Amino acid sequence: MTKKKSDRNFDSIAAKFQQNIYQTTKGRLRQLVLQRDLAECEALQQSSRVLDVGAGQGQLALWLASLGHQLLLTDLSAEMLAMAAESAKAQGLSEQISILNTGLAELAAGGQQYPVVLCHAVLEWLAEPELAIAQLWQLLEPGGTLSLMFYNLDAKRFSNIVYGNFNYVLRDLAYKKKVSLSPQHPLNPLDVHRWCLAQGFELVSKTGVRCFHDYLRDRSEQETEFDKLLEVELRYNRTEPYASLGRYQHLLLKKPL
């Protein structure tokens, strides 16, 4: 009997996730790119209710709360959400956030809708990512905006060719041993775009996230030249071919009225 896939829960490695992802240059860069995109998002130009699906430790949600928005943070990981709540208390933002320890399927079944929904670095950890697009549609009000970021299969393949990991690429990126913090199901951008358009979403914008950071020959420059790297990223990460080389792709999508 084939074992049924399940959605990923990070309860056992929440602290490790914080250290190895959020407190690194790649985490900082991702945060700043998303902040730029969302700061320009029409739906967030005035105070709004925002649902953050798979909010993790809530860095982006707390930034939005600091701008006056009301946030509902949801995640399968109670440990991640506890860290988010602790950060909110430390920043004096507890009254602007609510926390719910649940998954996307349960949220969609609840019937509640929001003007803005965030779903960042979640699809690649789900057992049924295509179904998730329909569930996100259900959670969004007509006229609402979905901020969707996912791990890019094309970029993962390209980076491993650049690194010289030819056997890994020729095995279709299959590891015998899984790496706990590395998404094991990167998504083909063409598939994600097709799923979104078939559902009825309208594409507002596409941004590459970490279009250059991961390809630097001298990895030390990720830290020593971070400000210049960020400037280059923000200048070119909406322009092809660079946008499609981002380790993640960030889509802003609108649900028609």
What are the DSSP calls for 36-99, one per residue? HHHHT-GGGSS--EEEEET-TT-HHHHHHHHTT-EEEEE-S-HHHHHHHHHHHHHTT-GGGEEE
8 A C-beta contact, residue 123 and residue 95 = no
The pTM score is 0.90
Percent of the chain with pLDDT over 90: 85
Q: What pLDDT, on the 0 to 100 scale, is given for residue 222?
A: 96
Residues 6+ apart with CB under 8 A from 199: 133, 134, 137
Pairing label, strands 114-120, 202-209: unpaired
Indicate whether 17 pLDDT > 50. Answer: no
Percent of the chain with pLDDT over 70: 89
Q: What pLDDT, on the 0 to 100 scale, is given for residue 174?
A: 81
On average, the pLDDT of the chain sits at 91
| 109-162 residue pLDDT tens | 998 999 999 999 999 999 899 999 999 999 999 999 999 999 999 999 999 999
